[in-house]
Amino acid sequence: MKLKPLADRVIIKMVEAEETTKSGIILTGAAKEKPEVAEVIEVGPGGMVDGKEVKMVVKKGQKVITSKYAGTEVKVDGEEYTIVRQSDILAVVE
């Protein structure tokens, strides 16, 4: 089973935070807080969205940071995903 996002939507999955602070993991305050880094699982086709041409720039497998509270959470096969608009993605983590 697979989710294919429409338009400028992107399916992301929150990355489990590890408790190492100097190792490159992004943590919001403490290791127990909700991590802000997500992995891109699927990318919509882009195209005309609300009368404006949107070109998708994020790619499957990239780690990204999104606006907090952005998107809709869904559960597929027991796994939790979030569906956001590409414009809710603030930065790519390299």
Of residues 16, 26, 34, 40, which one binds a second copy by CB under 8 A?
26
Of residues 16, 32, 50, 61, which one binds a second copy by CB under 8 A?
50
Of the CA atoms within 13 Å of residue 3, those in its CB half-sphere come to: 23
CB 10 within 8 A of CB 65: no
- Token pair 């802000």 is found at 36
Side chain identity at residue 74, one-letter code = V
Taking the complex as a whole, how short is the minimal distance between the CB of residue 32 and a second copy, in angstroms? 13
Of residues 13, 15, 27, 39, which one binds a second copy by CB under 8 A?
27
> CA angle at residue 80 from 75 to 82, to 5 degrees?
95
Check binding of 32 to a second copy (CB under 8 A).
Answer: no
Nearest to 43 by CA among 64, 27, 57: 57
Residues near a second copy (CB under 8 A) are 1-7, 9, 11, 21-22, 24, 26-29, 36, 42, 44, 48-55, 57-58, 65, 67-68, 72, 74-78, 83, 86-87, 89-94
